[in-house]
Chain A
Amino acid sequence: MAKKLGKKARKFARKNLQSAAKRNRKIRNQFNHRRGPRRGESLPPTLLTSAPLFALPVRARLQGGLIESLLELVSGGSAGREDGDEDVPQRVHDSTMVTNDEDATLIHGLEFPEDDAELDADLSDSDGYLSEDPGCPYYSDSEDEKADKDCIMEDGLDRQNDDMNRDIKKQKKKLKKLLDKDPEFANFLEKWQSELESYRSNKEDSDEDGMDSMDDDDDSNDGNSPNAKVLKSKTISEWCLLVSKDPKSPALRNLLNAFRDACRYGVHSDGLSMQRFQNARVFYQIITFVLSESDNVFRALLEIQDDANKGKIMNLRNSKKWQTVDPLLKSYLRNSLDLLSQLTDNKILAFVLTRLRASVVLFSAYPSTSSRLVKILFRLWASGDQSLSLSAFLMIREVSSLLPDCLDLCLTKSYNTYLGSTKLVNDRNTKHIYFLIDCLVELYSLDVQKSYERAVTSVEQLNAILRQAFKTKEKEDLRKIDNWQYISCVNLWVRFLCCHYKDYNLHPLFSEVLQVIRGVAHLFRGTRYLPLRLRLVQMLNDLSTCSQMFYPIPSLLFDCLEFREVSQKEQTQRTKINFSSLLKVPKNLLKSRDFQEECVLSAIQVLSAHFAQWSYHVSFPEVATIPLFLLKRLHEQTTIESLHRPIKRLIDQVTENKDFIQRKREVVSFSPNDKASVDSFLQEEKFSRNASFTRFYASVAENCQTKGRKTL
């Protein structure tokens, strides 16, 4: 992978390599404290190859902190761990970019207050090293010595290291010559070296004060790690065998120690732990085995079942069994977390998470460890990668359902993380944001009572912002609404309502949300805000569907169906407009063809959703009357050829369904005030879902999915 790196990147990496990883971790942690994890941990290496391009993403991410993004660039580029399937470099000229950028700078205050107080109590009380049973075998034969080199040498640093080796040899020779020439020089050198040493140690001491607790604690512990025996593949295999045969085997300790070293591998550049791993295979063996087996092992040791909950674990804590297992378990869990914060590859992370998920319940014994776990999880959840996000979320869900005291933290964190990641919405992450919404709703449905209170607070906040903006009509206040965070927040609660409206009495929240939506639609009229409006209409459609209440969608869509002049000059350059990542259309596109097209097509989509909902209702013909009237007129007037077909198609379908309903209702005898009969009208047809309009709507929805214009 590293071969892909540009020349410059390599140079850059060489220069900054030493400190980058360390600093990166440190700073990332700091950011995590403050504003939750961010997505897009790394940028494509190609960005590094040319200087002007380099500046642009930095500007785009200004709100994320210059340093952070810089460091991400550095670490991403230097380590060369990029996945081949990373997204293509962002088109920075994208017009959406600029608007989103502005939006993102808004600080919102929508977030739930987060309690950052941390319990570091059991983080620092042990060094994590387990005393080993000397009875365990260490094999020293090197049967696979020869395979040692080749897997390491894949790395791009290798050549550089070779060069350096040569240099060192050369310089050493030179030094030796000098020393030979002048023996007194040796004394001088020695003196100087000792001075240097003392100076360095002083400096390091002061440096460490600012370090993250994790590093802190590790640094101090490294010294007393007593075991420096080299681990051979055979040794590990033997241990694995022992442990899988008998969980109580002392080899477990050794194995866990090895796991500890593996997890910290590369973090600290002391030779000791580096030397323990003979080759990559050993490393792999240890990690895979410990991760995949330890859950079973610990459960066997503690004699607990799969369905154990927190109470059981807490009870166990006082038992004698626990005393023996406790250090092992603690070591395992903490080291896994270290590994999680250490790894950068999405696939491995996902793997670790899946393995670790099995033993979530064991975290309940260590509150501070679990809160650290939650933090890591949310960082990973918000990262863009789909499978990683999913596995992180599943873990989060497990944590919040199994550890009741983590639920609050999880709810708050997930909400805030979600808001944080919706600051910037572009074509690429819309899908991810929908995924995040789904996850959030999932999480919030674990305890609806609790979530309802949060939802009410959040919606009240939204409402207050809306009212304030409505009162003052000032630009600042309006900007608090006209941004992704606000809209995403509304979207979230709409989704939440949709999932739970049937099962719970959520009507107060429902009407509150409805008011917010209507208010926003009322406040932001005009053609420029059509994307925002379409989004709101989609939400209304969803709410209407879930509550079976009637909402007159067409009144919000008239703007889209109005024929407007199209400027002819823009035929040459076609700009792609995607409403899913826009709230406000740039002024220069207002008269463009594409905008008109997108408007009408989106309107057709939401309108057909509305029609589909009431397509079996007895008053469908009346529902369709006015929209149909407008559609016909638009069909006559529009000059955009490509729109003729979809409009005509919708008109035909609606007319067909209208005739169908009319025919059906001509033969019934009940009157409009006969509620029961009205409700039962055409119910059978509705369930069979065979009417042409239903099929039409299905095709429209599908079409939109494939086109990327996603329904909520």
Chain B
Amino acid sequence: MGKRSGSKRKDKNKVILPPELPPEIDDDEVDLSDEDIAFYATDSSNVAPFRRFDKKSIDRYVGRVAGRDEGEVERLYEERQKRKATESSGKPREDDDGLEVDPVDALPTKTLQGELVYNRAKKARSEDNTGGVKSKAQENGADAKQSIKKDEPKGKSKNKKGDDNKVKNIQSQTEVPKGQLHSNVLEEVKEELSAEELFEKKKAQLAELGMAMLEDPESNIRSLNDMLSISNDKDQKVAKLGLMSLLAVFKDIIPSYRIRQLTEKELAVEVSKEVKKTRYYEYTLIRCYKAYLQKLVSLEKQPHFYTVAVRCMCALLDTAPHFNFRENLLASVVKNLSSSDDVVRKMCCEAIRSLFINEGKHRGEATIEAVRLIADHVKLNDCQLHPDSIDVFLSLRFDEDIGKDETEEEKVKPKKNKRWQKNQEVPKQLPVNDKKKTRQELISKAREEVDVDLRAVSFTLDPKERKRIQKETLSALFETYFRILKHSVTTSNSRTKVNNVSPGGSHPLLTPCLEGLGKFSHLIDVDFMGELISCLKKLSGYSDRQDEIPNDNALSVSERLQCCIVAVKVWRSNLEALNVDLQDFFVQLYNLILEYRPDRDHGEVLADALKTLLWEGKQQDMLRAAAFIKRLATLALSFGSAEAIAALVTLKHLLQKNSKCRNMLENDSGGGSLSCLVAKYNPEATDPYLSGALASVLWELSLLEKHYDISVSSMASNILSMANLNPTQNPVPILNVNPLEAYRDLSMERELLKPTSKALPLNLKKRRRGKEFVALSPDVLQKADCSVDKDELEEKLQSHFAVLRGISENERLRAELNHTLSSVNMYKDYKKQKKKNMKFKTGRKKVARV
């Protein structure tokens, strides 16, 4: 590619028109080239739906001379490009292996490297935002001006054909050197022009250019180059503004199709002026777009421009996932998915999510690319990424039947085909002669062509293609998931006993991975199932040795609970046909309940585990059910109301399903009523079968009835009322939700978001004004009575008096002293005055004498 672009540069000196498109050769498109020619060959009305600006341009460029004027513009561009090339050759080219970008993409442009101000990054960003708004406002302001300008050339174009172009060129000529002038003479002018004025000027210029672009992209397409040059400005603010305005322009003018490179053959064919013009437009657009992307990629490495560049890329990916260079955009965005900068990460996640959700924009091709890129990314980084980078997978959507067997579908398909064929065949079999057969073929061929055209237009994929893409996506997705799981298993096993407290500390990707596995569990291939389950078992911390403390696992409680959830979900969504014993997971849950800590672990995961494992399941083993019932009741006594209600909902459900366990509600003399292996309940048992829970009585519920939370206490009494009912009867349900919902309803977050209820006014029956003390203890009050004894009081009062007297005495004396002192001092003044008087007198005497 690098070579090619180099040759392109050389070529430019010779060939001006038709322009060569950037190297974007796609196999599909090469195939389609014939058709494409036909496309352009047809009259403009055919093209019109794709290009909204065509008509306007036709009006204007009726007869365009591709001669001198064009050449001038081209020369200007080339000069700049050369300059860039020489500049870039002086600088070391940055290596970028992780990114498979065209080396040209990585070209450092004329940059502001010298001026990087790192610590101002944040501030500048906010300034940039306001700047953006300002420039918009200015754009609006410039609107009027622009319209006048626009009208002028229009009027002229009626008179002379080439005039329009001339005017344009003059304009662009004056603008381009201006930009150069600015950059060159900046140092000299600095003293005269304040930076602010410059900034304002450039902003205005940007706004003008942008407006012109939006007004009429066809004729103003070359302004893109000017804007690009502005975004090269040394002033970082200006550069940012330039980037943002370019983004806005591109967002607006990027066509809804992919621009394809013309083949040699096509180039050779003589085409109409109109087509030439279109080609030129597309060529310029794509070239500028490429330059812009290169710029973004290079700027992304500069901390000052980091967020801006990523924002631009995300926005572009969001609006134009179908357009050329999508791969480069994707690569950058995916790389930034695990950025340490929260803002950047969020933007990237949003961009990728919208890519997944709005597959219509790009026919799902971008999805598979993105998923693959993420998979590679995970692989490269050895699963040490930010959870968000995997989290985006949760927005993926798959068709319901994607997981079904190929064969099954094939079975269905032929049927359909047959029916269709039958319908077709009825008329087919009637005519026998070849002529008609060939004609039929022709017709079907034509139909196919039309179909292809239609598809190309409407962006719909045929189901097969769609299925293929989805399958690939799915396999890449699960590849990632399994990689993470495997990685977690290997590292957690190698780790020594660590008391893990922070969730997801060592396996950042595990939580979203498990979530994803739970979500897509119905799509997992049966072949993987066994391995997956054993993997999960290991991860959930289960060990065959019962006596071991289950805490030697590096995973957090939430993660282990999630493992259990995923295992059960996987098992259940595969028709429960899998021959896996899930007993271990239940044992694990039984023990994990005790490990759960409200603030450290996610309560929702616990509630979800209760829901998935216990609430949704079918009838449980009686012993196991009893053990869980007892443990849940105990849990409810020690944890907050949200956990308690989730436990109680589950408990009630278990009691309903396992009516024999209702014996636990009653206290038969001599302990539990049912005989079982263990006669005495052992609350600390790790195995639910050995806990002997059936022998216990649910005394907890009697205390839970006094729970401060009204829903918990009413639930407890509701459960207790089961004791009086027949095994087949169930009490009136008071809370018809699953444990997870119940948990969420009572969680603190929900409660604090509820509107405040006005406290009712207090209606006192008795209005008491008590004289007796309520809060103060009597011994404190006693202290007040034994007041100061007389002698002490006397002494203190007297000393108080003495102090007061001393002070006033002091005051008085000081005043007197001051007074006397100043009087003594006055003597000097007096003497002076006296002297003066004397002099005066003598003077007067002298005067009198004279």
Q: Are A17 and B807 in contact (CB under 8 A)?
A: yes
- Tell yes or no: B199 within 8 A of A by CB: no
Contacting pair B635 A626 (CB below 8 A): yes
Q: How distant is B709 from chain A, measured CB to nearest CB, in Å?
A: 9
Contacts known (A167-B817, A269-B811, A563-B499); A154 close to B802, Cβ less than 8 A: yes
The digit string for A524-566, where 1 denotes a CB below 8 A from any CB of B, is 0110000000000000000010011111101110110011000
Let me know if A672 and B800 touch, CB within 8 A. no
Interface centre among B684, B748, B793, B810 (most CB of A within 10 A): B810
- Check A449–B762 contact: CB distance below 8 A: yes
Residues of B within 8 A of A467 (CB): 752-753, 756
Q: How far is the CB of B169 from chain A (nearest CB, A)?
A: 56
Q: How far is the CA of A672 from the CA of B672 in the complex (A)?
A: 13
Contact between chains at B768 and A464 (CB < 8 Å): no
A210: B residues at CB distance < 8 A: none
Do A668 and B784 have beta carbons less than 8 Å apart?
Answer: no
With a cutoff of 8 Å between Cβ atoms, the chain B residues found around residue A670 in the complex are 667
Which residues of B are found within 8 Å of A551, using beta-carbon distances? 707-708
Contact flags (1/0) for A11-26 with B, using CB distance below 8 Å?
0000001100100000
State in angstroms the CA–CA spacing of A433 and B127 once bound together.
49
Per the bound structure, the CA–CA distance linking A435 and B780 in Å amounts to 9
User: When chains A and B are docked, how far (Å) is the Cα of A621 from the Cα of B794?
Assistant: 63
- CB of A375 within 8 Å of the partner chain: no
CB <8 Å contact, B807 and A21: yes
Q: What residues of A have a CB within 8 angstroms of the CB of B776 in the complex?
A: 438-439, 442
Residue contact A552 to B638, C-beta cutoff 8 Å: yes
Range of interface residues on chain B?
A: 35 or more
Give the residue among B707, B724, B773, B807 with the most A Cβ atoms within 10 A: B807
- Are B775 and A449 in contact, CB atoms less than 8 angstroms apart? no
How far, in whole Å, are A562 and B773 apart by their CA atoms in the complex? 42
Asked if residues B783 and A81 are in contact (CB atoms below 8 Å), the reply is no
Binding stretch for chain A, among B236-244, B363-371, B576-584, B822-830? B822-830
CB neighbours of B812 from chain A (8 A): 269, 271
User: Is B158 interfacial (CB-CB < 8 Å)?
Assistant: no
Q: Is B720 a contact of A673 with CB atoms below 8 Å? A: yes
| CB interface residues, A 469-503, toward B, < 8 Å | 470-471, 495, 499-500, 503
A445-B775 in contact (CB<8A): yes
Q: In the complex, what residues of B have CB within 8 A of residue A350's CB?
A: 787-788
Q: Is there a chain A Cβ closer than 8 Å to B133's Cβ? A: no
B600 to chain A, nearest CB (A): 8
**A509 in contact (CB, < 8 A):** yes
Q: Which residues of A contact B723 (CB under 8 A)?
A: 671-673
> Contacts A188-B826, A552-B637, A622-B700; is A175 near B707 (CB within 8 Å)?
no
Chain A 387-408 near chain B by CB (<8 Å), digits 1 or 0: 1001100100000010000000
Known contacts A447-B769, A668-B667; A354/B784 CB under 8 A: yes
Whether A618 pairs with B797 at a CB distance below 8 angstroms is: no
* A107 on interface, CB distance cutoff 8 Å: no
Q: Is the CB of B804 within 8 A of A288?
A: no
Q: For window 777-823 of chain B, which residues contact chain A by CB distance below 8 Å?
A: 777, 780-781, 783-784, 787-788, 792-794, 796-814, 816-817, 820-821, 823
In the complex, A265 has a CB within 8 A of chain B: yes
How far is A512 from B670 in the complex, measured between Cα atoms in Å? 44
Q: Within 8 Å CB of B749, what residues of A?
A: 470
Q: Decide if A456 touches B793 in the complex (CB within 8 Å).
A: no
Are B638 and A672 in contact, with the CB atoms below 8 A? no
CB pair B797–A394 under 8 Å, yes or no, is no
Given A152-B805, A161-B810, A445-B774, are A671 and B667 also a contact pair (CB < 8 Å)? yes
Task: Report B550 CB to chain A, min CB distance, Å.
Answer: 12
Q: Does A139 lie at the interface of the complex (its beta carbon under 8 Å from any beta carbon of B)? A: no
Could you tell me the distance in whole angstroms from the C-beta of A236 to the nearest C-beta in chain B?
Answer: 14
Contact check, A161 vs B697: say whether CB atoms are below 8 A apart: no
User: Which residues of B have CB within 8 Å of A394?
Assistant: 781, 784
Q: Is the interface of A mostly helix, strand, loop or mixed?
A: helix
Is A452 part of the binding interface, using a Cβ–Cβ cutoff of 8 Å? Answer: yes
By the criterion CB–CB under 8 Å, are B820 and A168 in contact?
A: yes
> A625 interface residue, CB < 8 Å from B?
yes
**Which residues of the partner chain B approach A653 to less than 8 Å between Cβ atoms?**
none
Taking the complex as formed, is B655 at the interface, i.e. its CB lies under 8 A from any CB of chain A? no
Q: Is the CB of B800 within 8 A of A343?
A: yes
Contacts of A464 in B (CB 8 A): 756
CA distance A360 to B799 in the complex (A): 28
A669 to chain B: which residues have CB within 8 Å? 667, 669
Is there a chain A Cβ closer than 8 Å to B665's Cβ? yes
Cβ-neighbour of A504 out of B634, B705, B761, B762 (below 8 A): B762
A192 within 8 A of B: yes
CB contact between B637 and one of A80, A343, A622, A668 (< 8 Å): that residue: A622
Contact of B703 among A80, A168, A500, A617 (CB under 8 A): A617
Q: Are A514 and B775 in contact (CB under 8 A)?
A: no
Note all chain A residues with C-beta closer than 8 A to B160: none
Q: Check A164 against B773 for contact (C-beta < 8 Å).
A: no
Tell yes or no: A65 within 8 A of B by CB.
Answer: no
Inter-chain contact B634/A625, CB cutoff 8 Å? yes
Given the complex, which residues of B lie within 8 Å of A550, measured CB to CB? 637, 703-704, 706-708
Q: Complex formed: what's the CA distance from A667 to B781 in Å?
A: 48
A184 to B800, CA, bound (A): 46
One of B258-266, B446-454, B486-494, B591-599 contacting the partner:
B591-599
Hey, which chain B residues are within 8 Å of A544, CB to CB?
708
- In the complex with contacts A157-B806, A188-B826, A622-B637, A284-B814 CB distance below 8 A: no
CA distance A617 to B700 in the complex (A): 10
Decide yes or no: A441 and B640 within 8 Å by CB, A448-B764, A622-B699, A673-B721 being known contacts. no
Contact with B along A372-394 (1 / 0, CB 8 A): 00000000000000110011001
Query: Is A242's beta carbon under 8 Å from chain B?
Result: no
Please tell me if the beta carbons of A164 and B807 are within 8 angstroms of each other in the complex.
no
Q: In the complex, which residue of chain A has the Cβ closest to the Cβ of B780?
A: A390
Judge if B6 is at the interface, Cβ distance under 8 Å: no
**CB pair B597 A626 closer than 8 Å:** no
Chain B residues, CB < 8 A from A391: 784, 787
Q: A466's contact among B598, B752, B798, by CB below 8 Å, is which?
A: B752
Q: Is A591 an interface residue (CB 8 A)?
A: no
| Closest residue of B by beta carbon distance from A451 | B762
* B767 closest partner in A (C-beta): A449
Q: For B821, what are the chain A residues with a Cβ–Cβ distance below 8 Å?
A: 171
Which of A17, A547, A675 has a CB less than 8 Å from the CB of B810?
A17
Q: List A272-293 residues whose CB lies under 8 Å from chain B.
A: 274, 277, 280-281, 283-284, 287-288
Docked-complex contact A499 and B775, CB < 8 angstroms:
yes
Say yes or no: A622 contacts B773, CB within 8 Å: no
**Any B CB within 8 A of the CB of A506:** yes
Could you say which residues of chain A place their CB within 8 Å of the CB of B848? none
Question: How near does chain B come to A140, taking the closest CB pair, in angstroms?
Answer: 20
| A-B residue pairs in contact (CB < 8 Å), sample of 8 | A175-B823, A266-B808, A401-B771, A449-B767, A470-B753, A512-B759, A623-B637, A673-B702
Q: Known pairs A152-B806, A344-B800, A626-B594; list 4 more (Cβ under 8 Å).
A: A189-B823, A509-B762, A559-B599, A673-B720
- Which 9 pairs, one residue from A and one from B, show the smallest C-beta to C-beta distance? A266-B804, A280-B798, A619-B699, A157-B806, A673-B720, A441-B775, A522-B748, A155-B806, A525-B599
CB within 8 Å of A: which residues of B? 499, 501, 594, 597-599, 633-641, 643-644, 665-667, 669-671, 683-684, 697-708, 717, 720-721, 723-724, 748-749, 751-753, 756, 759-764, 767-771, 773-777, 780-781, 783-784, 787-788, 792-794, 796-814, 816-817, 820-821, 823-824, 826-827, 830, 833-834
A residues contacting B by CB (< 8 A) are 1, 17-18, 21, 79-81, 151-152, 154-158, 160-161, 164-165, 167-168, 171-172, 174-175, 178, 182, 184-185, 188-189, 192, 265-266, 269, 271, 274, 277, 280-281, 283-284, 287-288, 343-345, 347-348, 350-351, 354, 386-387, 390-391, 394, 401, 435, 437-439, 441-442, 445-449, 452-453, 456, 459-460, 463-464, 466-467, 470-471, 495, 499-500, 503-506, 508-509, 511-512, 514-515, 518-519, 522, 525-526, 544, 547-552, 554-556, 558-559, 562-563, 614, 617-619, 621-623, 625-627, 629, 665-673, 675, 678
